[in-house]
Amino acid sequence: MKAWRSFKLGVSLLICLSLSACVGTVVGAAVDTTIEVAKVPFKVAGAAIDLLIPDADDDD
């Protein structure tokens, strides 16, 4: 009976450790996506400004 309890404890510990790695991966991906989404308005604004204000190099 005691061996079965130790086995269940070991399996539970392994499951918790593997789930924490999965949660870390999901959180990391969510943060990366959020950062990329936050960058989009600045990229769009930069492109619009580039269209409105021509560079000096384009005059050649």
Per the structure, how many domains does the chain have? Answer: 1
Interior CA angle at 57 toward 52 and 58, to 5°? Answer: 55
Q: Does residue 17 belong to any structural domain of this protein?
A: no
Q: What domain range includes position 28?
A: 24-53
User: Can you tell me the distance from the alpha carbon of 23 to that of 3, in angstroms, rounded to the nearest whole number?
Assistant: 30
* Model confidence pLDDT, tens digit, residues 10-27: 888 888 877 777 777 888
pLDDT at position 59, please?
A: 53
Cα separation, 44 vs 50, in Å, equals 10
Q: Is residue 8 part of a domain?
A: no
Whether residue 48 is contained in a domain is answered as yes
| pTM tops 0.75 | no
Q: Which ranges of the chain have pLDDT less than 50?
A: none
For residue 42, tell me if it sits in a domain: yes
